[in-house]
Amino acid sequence: MDLKEIGEFGLIDRIKAGTRQQDGIVCGTGEPDRAIRGIGDDCAVIPQRSGKDTLVSTDMLVEGTHFLMGDITPYQLGWKSAAVNLSDIAAMGGKPTAAFLAFALTDSVDTLWTDAFMDGFRCCCDSCGTPLLGGDTTSSKCGLSICVTVLGECGSGNARLRSVAKPGDLVCVTGNLGDSAGGLEVILRGLERTGAAKVLVDRHYHPVPRVTEGLSLASCSGVHAMMDISDGIASDLLHILDESRVSARIDVAKVPQSNELQELWPEKALDLALCGGEDYELLFTVEPAFEPLVSIPHFVIGVIENGAPGTAVWEGLKKNICGFRHF
């Protein structure tokens, strides 16, 4: 079967179905309620005898798919490679504890390039107190690729899963959406990078993993489901709705957008905010009584309902929407 027919998430479902699921299997802790969670969330969650849970996530960046070598600087690429991975630990409400870096390098790079890449990588890891503990290095004849694995930890059972949104919860995001996609438009169209255009390109190349925000959210018991927005909220919200077997009603007028996005792309700012990827803000659901207790900046954009599982009503939207899909 053509991969386009089933898409990225169809393929992941297929892998999951063919894999002996460890979910629900107790991890040698002797406590029956502490089970591994595998494929399907931002990180795997592995309970430890210490009483903490270990979080693990892997993400790749591939030349031509995720970045253009002629445009991104090595520092930016290093930063972004770390950031997109640390973001998955943030998405679980965890504290990142270690990073591992594997890359396949082409002839086009030298030590000046790798030093600058490592500066960016380390700077992002340092901003989250995360040491680089290992990796792998090899060559590639057909494009540069980077694969990062991050470990993190959280209190036992405290990871914020995608599967626990409840009807009545408010749907919230931690910041403006669409800037990264707006920046990508600037890059792809070869526009001058001044003013608003520069701000958006910076947002595309320098995403900030919301680790502090994730930790703060996970300390609030009323915060239920959580994930990071990597593919665009239109697509990512559906993961929470699917996994939690609930629906949502979103008021698109409440989806936060920066002044820069609205200034540069007035016609399609909303499209970019809903469908554009790589903002790496957190998407979470919270019980209404607890929302005033959420101490980090956030925007309420909708509510979880008891409708057809995995569906969302986008109030105020005139046409169909979809997020970024591989294949």
Contact set with ligand ADP (CB under 6 A): 12, 15, 39-42, 59, 88, 230
Partner from ligand ADP, Mg ion, none binding residue 59, C-beta < 5-8 Å depending on class: ligand ADP
Q: Which does 40 bind (CB under 5 to 8 A by kind): Mg ion, ligand ADP, none?
A: ligand ADP
CA angle 10, 271, 286 (to 5 degrees): 70
> Residue 243 touches which of Mg ion, ligand ADP, none (CB < 5 to 8 A by kind)?
none
From the list 263, 273, 264, 281, the residue with the least C-alpha distance to 321 is 273
Supply the minimum distance, in Å, between the C-beta of residue 41 and Mg ion: 8
Q: Which does 41 bind (CB under 5 to 8 A by kind): Mg ion, ligand ADP, none?
A: ligand ADP
Closest contact distance (angstroms) between CB of 47 and Mg ion is 21
* Nearer CB in complex with Mg ion: 227/294: 227
* DSSP structure string for 121-136: HHHHHHHTT--EEEEE
The H-assigned helical ranges of the chain are 3-17, 74-91, 111-127, 179-188, 195-205, 211-218, 233-244, 259-264, 269-275
Nearest to 124 by CA among 92, 102, 152, 96: 96
Other beta carbons within 10 angstroms of residue 25's beta carbon come to 11
Nearest to 146 by CA among 99, 88, 186: 99
Residue 141 beta carbon to ligand ADP: minimum distance, rounded to whole angstroms: 23
Distance of alpha carbon 61 from the chain centroid:
13
Nearer of residues 147 and 170 to ligand ADP, judged by Cβ: 147
| Binding segment toward Mg ion, per CB under 5 A, in 36-44, 67-75, 141-149, 237-245 | 36-44
> What is the phi/psi pair of residue 149, to 5°?
-115, 135
42 near Mg ion, judged by CB under 5 A = yes
The entry of ligand ADP, Mg ion, none near residue 12 (CB within 5 to 8 angstroms by kind) is ligand ADP
Least distance CB 252 / ligand ADP (angstroms):
23
Residues of this chain that interact with Mg ion (CB under 5 A) are: 42, 88, 228
